[in-house]
Each structure stands twice: as structure tokens, then as C-alpha cells.
Amino acid sequence: MLIFQLTQHLRFIMLHHLHYLVGGCVGALVLFMAALSNGTVKPEIQWLDAVGEGVACLFALIWLLFLLCSRPSGRITHLMFTGCLLYWYSTVLDFADEFVRYPEHHRLFQNIESLSIPLAMLMITVGLFEWLREQRQINRQLRQREMFHREYRLLDPLTQVYTEPYLIQQLQRVCGAAMTHQPHPILFVLDIRGFAQFNMKHGMLAGDQLLKSFAELLLSHSNVDDLVCRCRGNRFALLVHQMPHAHASRHMEQALKKICHSISTELEVCWVQQPISNCTSAEALVRQSHANLDARKHNSQLESIRA
């Protein structure tokens, strides 16, 4: 079980943060080799100190890996990663100077070692502060889910957002009140493009992880009274209550740009929006939105074939 979980975490890092990991490790190796080749070997090595510094260095690397497997990419991850990396580098230099003595006139490595710790602490502190703010926002969303949507049987087991039957239930209530409600609520239906191919290339587990991240990010970019659902497979819906129609598409475009940037720059999402002003049947409304989305996907396929 533990091995399976570790493999999953490693796959996540490979998929989303490979550039961070490779860059960080190459930097550490270069620093370690440069420190060894610039110093003179100590006549007596304190093995207990060396083991202590080595273990500290190993744990700093483990913290770095934990960070990478627990976060999607983005500003906070970048900040925390840089802070942890600087801390790791200072432990690498600490470890190296158990074996060599740096030349007196050449203080580069001592300076890196001394400066990287306060800088790392500063970056980790700011990163943790931002992480806390982000977590508050996510908690607010989760509390909201608890408050208004107590239908656990209608939750999607993979993404933990609601399913289409629940959306239809909620739409039935909204449709009744929509005529008097200003601005009218809007239903967005979204489809992740090329998902079957993504599954084939990276495996079903990576596909599941993508769906989970997408649902979580969609939630964090929506308001507390909006409703996020997974309709089926790679298709989601978002019911928005308080958004002026003039801003709706720009808002959705910006949110999707950020979401795709956080998950993968290759990710492409096709979507349609449907204002709920005069609807008689929630099921018909959802059916119509799916049909509009299919037509849009079909047209964009034709356009790309023609291009």
C-alpha cells in the first residue's frame, strides 16, 4: 500500500513538476562538486558530524519532494519550492564542508551557506502565509458545499463534487425563481479536450488526478454560492448565481486560463454558457447545453481539419 502511494506521488511529480525536480537536483549536484573541487580535503573527518549533516540534507530533500507532491504548480508552489531548495542547498554545503576546508581568500561557499538560510526562511514564511490564505478560501468553499448540498449519495466519488442528477435537482429550484432573479443565473458546461489521448499517454491514474485537480481548481475559482458538478467523464458544469452576463464569458476565460496553467499548459477546455431566464424543464436545459457543447466541439474539429 505504501509502495503504491509512493509510486502515485512520484508519478504526480513527474507529470507536473519534473522541471522543478530536475533543475533542483542538477543545481545541488553542481554545487556539491564545485564545493568539493574548490576545497582541500580535511586531514581528520568527524564521522558523527558528517552523518548528522548527511541526514539533515536527506530530510531537506524529502521535505522538497513532499511539497512537490502536495501542490499543483503556481505562485505559492514556486515560492515554497525556491525557499525549500535554498534550504536544501545550504545543507548540501554543510555536508560538503565536513570533508573539505574552503580556501580563506575565497568565501563564495561560506557566503552562499550563510545567506541561503535567512533567504530560505523568508520565502518559506511568505509561502506558508499565502498557503494559509489559499486554504481558508478552499475551506470556505468546502463549508459552503456542506451547508447547502447535503446529498452525499449524489457526490461524485472521484472528484467529490456533485453529479448531474444533483445539478438537475438544483436547476429545478433555480428555474422556478429565475424569472424574478436579476441577474439571471448562468449554466456553464465544460469539456476537457483530448482526454482519451491523455489517458492513453499518461495512464488512467494520471487521468483521475487531472480530473480531481480540475474539479478542485474550478471550485476555488468559483463563488461560494456557485455549484460545481461533474456531469460525466471529462465533462463538468458550473451553475453561477451572481454574475453580470456581460462579464460571464471573460470571467470564465480568465478562470480557465489560470486553471489550465496550473494543471498543464497543454490542457484545452471547450465550454458553452446558457443564461437561465426562461426555462420550463431543468433536464431539457442541461440536454440543450450538452448539445450546444457537442456542436461547438464538432465545429472546432472541422475548423482545425480545414486549417
Say if residues 101 and 145 touch (Cβ distance below 8 Å).
no
Nearest approach in angstroms of CB 13 to ligand GTP is: 19
Burial of 37 (0-12, 13-18, 19+ CB in 10 A): exposed
Nearer of residues 93 and 210 to ligand GTP, judged by Cβ: 210
Which region, left, alpha or beta, applies to residue 2 given φ > 0 means left and ψ of -120 to 50 means alpha?
A: alpha
Give the position of cell 530560505: 120
Nearer of residues 87 and 195 to ligand GTP, judged by Cβ: 195
Nearest approach in angstroms of CB 203 to ligand GTP is: 8
Residue nearest to ligand GTP (CB): 207
CA distances from 143 to 71, 103, 248, 279 (A): 21, 59, 25, 30
What is the rounded distance in angstroms from the CA atom of residue 12 to the CA atom of residue 257? 21
Nearest approach in angstroms of CB 295 to ligand GTP is: 12
Cα atoms in the 13 Å half-sphere on the side-chain side of 126: 13
3-state helix, strand, coil in the chain (%, to 5): 70, 10, 20
Nearest approach in angstroms of CB 293 to ligand GTP is: 9
Nearest approach in angstroms of CB 155 to ligand GTP is: 14
Three cell numbers written together for 298? 464538432
Nearer of residues 46 and 299 to ligand GTP, judged by Cβ: 299
| SS3 per-residue string spanning 267-304 | CCEEEEEEECCCCCCHHHHHHHHHHHHHHHHHHHHHHH
Nearer of residues 90 and 230 to ligand GTP, judged by Cβ: 230
- Reference 176, options 187, 184, 164, 165; nearest CA is 184
Nearest approach in angstroms of CB 286 to ligand GTP is: 17
Q: Which residues of the chain form contacts with ligand GTP (CB under 6 A)?
A: 158, 191-197, 199, 204, 207-208, 211, 233-234, 297
Q: Identify any residues that bridge with 229 across adjacent strands, giving them in sequence order.
A: 162, 237
Nearer of residues 42 and 232 to ligand GTP, judged by Cβ: 232
Nearest approach in angstroms of CB 234 to ligand GTP is: 5
- Reference 143, options 219, 231, 243; nearest CA is 219
Nearest approach in angstroms of CB 237 to ligand GTP is: 15
Nearer of residues 84 and 270 to ligand GTP, judged by Cβ: 270
Nearer of residues 97 and 156 to ligand GTP, judged by Cβ: 156
- Strand 100-101 relative to strand 186-192, pairing: unpaired
